[in-house]
Chain A
């Protein structure tokens, strides 16, 4: 008994010296994300929440003000779900999570990532609808959601994304019609293949979610 307690006692002294969790909110958000992931290839091993900020973590890139601007975890064999905390990475420009086994809904909070230039979620198992909140991503240029299990209509709000240059939702389970306004005038038909989409929208004739 004595040795048992003394060992715990020692532990408590040792722990006196361990650093506490960082106060950096972006680091905390990423750490929360990590806790939801299963990471068989250990690509998130370097995500040490005790560091001052996440800028030295692998697959995380910061700007000179130590704000996270990139998250690059493509083809990393990660499974699990995304949580709302990703929406706290306000400075994020590139969200590259393609080619994993991430499931569940795409959190609507991703719409808070106002600086996002590229969102690549293709090649996962995302379900549910494309969040309407994506219409707030005014800087977005590349949005690839293809090869998932997304359902529901393509939100009409996305037609307001004037910077959008690449949009790919092929190989999902989307329904309704394809928007024809704004950037959607220029996307090739391949971007919409293999869904339950009913062709281009006919404004005034049928509602955009016809057939959903």
Chain B
């Protein structure tokens, strides 16, 4: 109330000032023979000038015409009037000279509306301030614009709430407040704007629920409230809006179910409800929205089955319900959706067979059925989808052979079938899909040879056939048929013979070569050096022989090198390169027959293992290659762990189970971001380098089953992240480090070293052992030796007896206090913390 009256006072003062100005202007105007309809335009001119001066960039050249100096206005002669402000930039007047339109979109305005005198624009029908830098609140005085039909304040920096006075603009047809910083709720009073056709408040920070009063606005054609923080239900009253054509409510926090009444929206073409928290079923009634083109309900919590009635939406182009909790089967009626271009059911709990009728969707370009529980075989009718570009069926339970009919899909570029239960031979039919860029059949039960004819797919970028039962040799051409090939993954099959040698010499884009877990023989040939972009080379668990392929240490991008479990032998020669393996982060040479010294030169140059904050910025995983992620299996922390995606900081050196000898080189100390170090089961001698304590990220340190001597460096107890250590079966002696993580290791980590003592072993160290402790406050607790003086032989019982008397006296005092009040000396004693015993 106070504000209101203050506002009126200010307003009246303002009018007085204005009328003085007017008098002056009238005088000047009359003196230059101008028409008689002057009062309103001049008030408007004055108001605009006043507003202009309030802008932070009042020298904006676009507003140079906004001046009462006649010389600046010579070029702007309006058809209907020639007076200010009708001739000014962005100002449009009617025949009477009233300002009816202000079109100031994209005019580099920078300032607020607080000095905009709305009352001077009573005839205004259009106000367009789109795409400027206007900030502050939307003034409540906007209510004076009672003739307003079109208001566009979008793409500015308006903040505060949407004033409820907007509800008084009863002539308004278009209200665009999107892309600002507005907060608070959507005013209920919008329900008064009976002529409103277009409402956009999207891309703000609005909260609270959508007012059900919007359902009164029968003229609404577009409603966009997306990208806010709206909560509550979608009002069922929206079903009244029979003219509604577009409804965008995505990216909010809307809950509850989709109102069945929306099925009444027979004019609706677009409904985007994705990325909310909507639950419940998709109402059958939605099948009545005969005009619907685009239905996007993804990323909600919708349950139940997909209604068969959706098959009536014959104009539907996109049906996207991915990432929900939908179950049941796909209704065959969806085969009637003849206009459909995209069908996205991924990440649900749909089951049953894929209906053959899906093959009728002749315009379908994208079919996303991945991450469901579809079973049965792939219907051969899918081969009729001759517009199809992407078909994602990965991560289901599809079985049986892959139909040859899919070879008709000549536009197909992405075909992902991995992680199913498909059987039979390699589907040669699909080799007709010459545009294929991405073919993943991995993790199925396919058998037989890998056909040479794959090499006809010249566009192929990713070929993932791993984790099947393919047998025979690897076709030579597979490593040189496509310049685009980045991923060749044939791991975990039954392939034998040699590794192909004829890699492309020029434009070789191969980044991943994963042949792990086959029965490949022969040695690793120098031609691999042509793969300059190679990041992942996994030839582990084969039957490869020969020496270490030291020439690959010059490959500049190599990050993961796994040669584990072969019969490679000899010493780890390094090439002559100055900086070998600059990006290497995972090196697994375990379980081979390597001999000689540890590769000190490599340790010295593993630059990627030296910076502690490896992934502090940037991606945490190695680059995904389309939908393919590099994986690797590593023996860490006593387990064989399968990394579904390789983190860029999963830094591992595993040289275990070889016959390396000599000492652990000091050059290992700078590898500060190393997480897992396994040198066990070699013939290493010498001491444990004290600079191992620099490896502050280390989680797993295994030096077991070597011939190491000396002490375990006490500072290793400072390695907070150390979780698994194994020093067993060496010739170490002295005290086991104390405190920190060493509190948590059990005796198996230290067994088989006759000279070690202290926790957790039962053997005591005596005096000299205690001195190496780092955290003395922890020590005595764990030591099993009971040579602490005080408490041995000083039992609780005897203490208790003493306390019996003391306590009786204490109780007496208590009684005293209770009955006689607190004597001052008791207060003094008790408030001084009594020490424990």
Of the listed residues A12, A16, A184, A197, the one surrounded by the most CB atoms of chain B closer than 10 A to its CB is A16
In the complex where A20-B371, A168-B781 touch, is A198 in contact with B791 (Cβ < 8 A)?
no
Whether the pair A205, B804 counts as a contact (CB closer than 8 A) is: yes
Residue in A8, A61, A142, A168 whose CB lies within 8 Å of B724: A61
Instruction: Answer whether A16 and B322 are a contact pair too, CB < 8 Å, given A42-B616, A46-B620, A59-B723.
Output: yes
- The distance from the CB of A139 to the nearest CB of chain B, in whole angstroms, is 13
CB neighbours of B721 from chain A (8 A): 43, 58-59, 72, 74
> Are A74 and B741 touching (Cβ within 8 A)?
yes
Interface 9-mer from A28-36, A49-57, A81-89, A103-111: A49-57
- A2 beta carbon closer than 8 Å to chain B: no
Closest to B320 in A: A12
Say whether A96 faces chain B, with CB atoms less than 8 Å apart.
yes
Partner of A189, one of B371, B620, B641, B791: B791
User: Which of the residues B627, B791, B799, B836 comes within 8 Å of A197, measured between beta carbons?
Assistant: B836
Decide yes or no whether A166 CB sits under 8 A from chain B: yes
- Contact yes or no, A62 B639, CB < 8 A: yes
CA distance A109 to B521 in the complex (A): 55
Whether B720 and A76, one on each chain, are in contact in the complex, defined by CB atoms closer than 8 angstroms, is yes
From the candidates B347, B649, B720, B790, name the one contacting A16 in the complex (CB within 8 A). Answer: B347
Chain A residues, Cβ within 8 Å of B781: 144, 166, 168, 188, 191
* A36 → chain B closest CB, angstroms: 21
Q: Is the CB of B641 within 8 A of A166?
A: no
Residue among B642, B803, B808 with the most chain A CB within 10 A? B803
- Check B800 against A202 for contact (C-beta < 8 Å): yes
Identify which of residues 155-212 in chain A touch chain B, using a CB-to-CB cut-off of 8 Å: 165-166, 168, 178, 180, 184-185, 188-202, 205-206
Q: Is A149 an interface residue (CB 8 A)?
A: no
Chain B's closest residue to A171 (CB) is B777
Is A118 a contact partner of B788 (Cβ separation < 8 A)?
A: no
Alpha-carbon distance between A130 and B740 when the two chains are bound, in angstroms: 22
Chain B contacts for A200, CB-based, 8 A: 796, 799-800, 803, 837
**Cβ < 8 Å to A, chain B residues 721-776:** 721-724, 740-741, 743-744
Please measure, in the bound complex, the distance between the C-alpha atom of A19 and the C-alpha atom of B251, giving whole angstroms: 19
Do A196 and B346 contact each other (CB < 8 Å), given the known contacts A20-B323, A74-B720, A76-B720? no
Q: Which residue of A lies closest to B649 (CB)?
A: A46
Contact of B675 among A52, A58, A99, A201 (CB under 8 A): A58
Query: Cβ of A42: which chain B residues have Cβ within 8 Å of it?
Result: 616
For the complex, what is the distance from the CA of A37 to the CA of B551, rounded to whole Å?
A: 46
Given contact pairs A42-B616, A118-B744, A199-B803, A16 touches B344 in the complex (Cβ within 8 A): yes
Given A8-B250, A45-B615, A188-B791, verify A196-B744 contact (CB < 8 Å): no
- Chain B residue contacts of A15, Cβ below 8 A: 298-299, 322-323
- Complex Cα gap A102–B643 (Å): 30
Partner of B639, one of A9, A64, A76, A166: A64
Q: Identify which of A75, A193, A205 contacts B836 (C-beta below 8 A).
A: A193
B613 closest partner in A (C-beta): A42
Q: Which of B641, B720, B722 has the most CB of A within 10 A?
A: B720
Q: Scoring B residues 791 to 816 as 1 if CB is less than 8 Å from chain A, else 0, what string do you get?
A: 10001100110011011100100000
Q: How far is the CA of A70 from the CA of B724 in the complex (A)?
A: 10
Residues from chain A with Cβ under 8 Å of B274 in the complex: 12
Minimal beta-carbon separation of A66 from chain B (angstroms): 9
Q: Which of B693-731 contact A (CB under 8 A)?
A: 699, 720-724
Residues of the B chain whose Cβ atoms lie less than 8 Å from the Cβ of A48: 620, 645
Q: Which chain A residues border B834 with CB–CB below 8 Å?
A: 196, 198
Q: How far is the CA of A188 from the CA of B785 in the complex (A)?
A: 13
Set of chain B residues within 8 Å of A194, measured between Cβ atoms: 836
Shortest B381–chain A CB gap in Å is: 23
**Which residue on B lies nearest to A185, using beta carbons?**
B796
Give chain B nearest CB distance to A210 CB in angstroms. 8
Interface residues of B in 500-542 (CB under 8 A from A): none
Contacts of A70 in B (CB 8 A): 723, 744
Contact residues in B for A75 (Cβ distance below 8 Å): 720, 740
A199 touches B836 (CB 8 A): yes
Chain A residue at minimal CB-CB distance from B616: A42
CB distance from A18 to the nearest CB of B (A): 8
Q: CB within 8 A of B807: which of A17, A52, A202? A: A202
Residue count of chain B within 8 Å CB distance of chain A: 69
- Which residue from B275, B627, B723 sits with its C-beta under 8 Å from A17? B627
Chain B window 239-253, contacts with chain A (Cβ cutoff 8 Å), 1 for yes, 0 for no: 000000000101100
Residue of A nearest to B348 (CB): A20
**Minimum CB–CB distance for B599 against chain A, Å:** 26
B273 to chain A, nearest CB (A): 11
Q: Does A26 contact B (CB under 8 A)?
A: no
- Please provide the chain B residues from 418 to 474 with a CB less than 8 Å away from any CB of chain A in the complex: none
| C-alpha gap A58/B834 in the complex (Å) | 44
Whether B782 is near chain A, meaning CB under 8 Å from some CB there, is: yes
Chain A 3-24 near chain B by CB (<8 Å), digits 1 or 0: 0010011001101110110000
Contact of A72 among B723, B796, B799 (CB under 8 A): B723
Q: Mark B332-373, 1 if CB is under 8 A from A, else 0.
A: 000000000010101100000000000000000010101100
Interface residues of B in 639-686 (CB under 8 A from A): 639, 641-645, 647, 649-650, 675
Q: How far is the CA of A15 from the CA of B619 in the complex (A)?
A: 17
Which residues from chain A contact B370 at a C-beta distance below 8 Å? 16-17
Determine whether the beta carbon of B800 is less than 8 Å from that of A180: yes
Q: Determine the distance from Cα of A13 to Cα of B647 in the docked complex, in whole angstroms.
A: 25
Query: Does B55 count as interface, using CB distance less than 8 angstroms?
Result: no
State the Cβ distance, B340 to closest chain A Cβ, in Å. 15
- Check A189–B836 contact: CB distance below 8 A: yes
Per-residue interface assignment for chain B, residues 271 to 307, with 1 indicating a CB less than 8 Å from any chain A CB and 0 otherwise: 0101100000000000000000000101100000000
Q: Do A96 and B836 form a contact, CB below 8 Å, given A200-B803, A202-B804?
A: no
**Are the C-beta atoms of B807 and A12 separated by less than 8 Å?**
no
Question: Complex: how many Å from CA A42 to CA B806?
Answer: 53
| A13 contacts across to B, CB distance below 8 A | 342, 344, 366
Interface membership of B7, Cβ < 8 A = no
Q: Inside 8 A of A166's CB, which chain B residues have their CB?
A: 781-782
Residues of A within 8 A of B639 (CB): 55, 62-64
What are the residues of chain A within 8 A of B741 when measuring CB–CB?
Answer: 72, 74, 96
Contact A52 B320 (CB under 8 A): no
- Confirm or deny: B95 has a beta carbon within 8 angstroms of a beta carbon on chain A: no
B620 neighbours in A (Cβ, 8 Å): 45-46, 48
Is A126 part of the contact surface with B, judged by Cβ < 8 Å?
no
State A72–B808 Cα separation when bound (angstroms): 47
- Kindly state whether residue B833 has any CB partner on chain A within 8 Å: yes
Answer whether residue A94 sits at the interface, using C-beta atoms and an 8 A cutoff.
yes
- Is B796 a contact partner of A180 (Cβ separation < 8 A)? yes
The answer to whether A189 and B837 touch (CB under 8 A), given A75-B720, A202-B807, is: yes
Residues of B within 8 A of A64 (CB): 639
Neighbouring A residues of B675 by C-beta, 8 Å? 58
With the chains together, A12 CA to B296 CA distance in Å? 9
* Neighbouring B residues of A17 by C-beta, 8 Å: 346, 370, 392, 627
Q: In the complex, which residues of chain A have a beta carbon less than 8 angstroms from the beta carbon of B251?
A: 8
Known: A184-B796, A188-B791, A192-B837; 18 extra A-B contacts, CB below 8 A, are A8-B251, A9-B296, A12-B274, A12-B320, A13-B344, A16-B322, A16-B346, A20-B347, A46-B647, A51-B645, A64-B639, A70-B723, A72-B722, A142-B743, A165-B782, A192-B836, A195-B836, A206-B811
Q: 9 A-B contacts, Cβ less than 8 Å apart?
A: A9-B296, A16-B322, A17-B392, A61-B637, A72-B723, A192-B836, A193-B836, A196-B833, A198-B834
- Please list the residues of chain B having a beta carbon within 8 angstroms of any beta carbon in chain A: 226, 248, 250-251, 272, 274-275, 296, 298-299, 320, 322-323, 342, 344, 346-347, 366, 368, 370-371, 392, 615-616, 620, 627, 637, 639, 641-645, 647, 649-650, 675, 699, 720-724, 740-741, 743-744, 777-778, 780-782, 788, 790-791, 795-796, 799-800, 803-804, 806-808, 811, 833-834, 836-837
